[in-house]
Copies of this chain bind each other. A is one copy, B any other.
Amino acid sequence: MTVAPLPKASRRGLAQEAADLIREAIFTGHFPPGAQLREVELAASLGVSRGSVREGLALLEREGLVHSVWHRGTTVVDVTAQDVEEVYTLRAALDRLAATSAQRNATADQLTELDTLVRAMAQEISGDASGATLLALDIAFHDRIYDAANNRRLVEAWRAVRSQIYLFQLRRIALGHEHYRARVVDEHRELVTLLRADDRETLARRAEEHVDSARCSLLAGLSPSM
What residues of chain A have their CB less than 8 Å away from a CB belonging to chain B?
10-13, 51, 55, 58, 62, 64, 70-71, 86-87, 89-90, 92-94, 96-97, 101, 151-154, 156-157, 160-161
Q: A58-B55, A93-B97 are in contact. Are A64 and B156 (CB under 8 A)?
A: yes
- Chain B residues near A152 (CB-CB < 8 A): 86
Min CB distance A18 to B, Å, is 14
Q: A10-B70, A70-B12, A70-B13 are in contact. Are A89 and B58 (CB under 8 A)?
A: no
CA distance A153 to B163 in the complex (A): 13
Query: Nearest 8 pairs between A and B by C-beta?
Result: A93-B97, A86-B153, A86-B151, A90-B153, A93-B93, A157-B157, A90-B154, A13-B70
Which of B10, B62, B92, B97 contacts A62 (CB under 8 A)? B62
Least CB separation from A151: chain B residue: B86
- Of A13, A51, A86, A160, chain B has the most CB atoms within 10 Å of the CB of A86
Interface SS majority for chain A: helix
CA distance A157 to B87 in the complex (A): 11
- Chain B residues near A153 (CB-CB < 8 A): 64, 86-87, 90, 160-161
CA distance A58 to B56 in the complex (A): 11
Least CB separation from A92: chain B residue: B97
Knowing that A58-B58, A86-B153 are A-B contacts, what are 16 other residue pairs whose CB atoms are under 8 Å apart, sorted by A's residue number? A11-B71, A55-B58, A64-B156, A86-B151, A87-B153, A89-B97, A89-B154, A90-B151, A90-B154, A92-B97, A93-B93, A93-B97, A153-B161, A156-B160, A157-B157, A160-B160
CA distance A86 to B156 in the complex (A): 11
Which of B11, B55, B90, B96 contacts A157 (CB under 8 A)? B90
Q: Identify 5 residue pairs between A and B in the complex whose beta-carbon atoms are under 8 Å apart, listed by A's number.
A: A12-B70, A55-B55, A58-B58, A89-B101, A92-B97
User: Do A11 and B70 touch (CB < 8 A)?
Assistant: yes
Least CB separation from A154: chain B residue: B90
Min CB distance A93 to B, Å, is 4
CA distance A89 to B156 in the complex (A): 13
CA distance A71 to B12 in the complex (A): 10
CA distance A213 to B161 in the complex (A): 28
Min CB distance A78 to B, Å, is 13
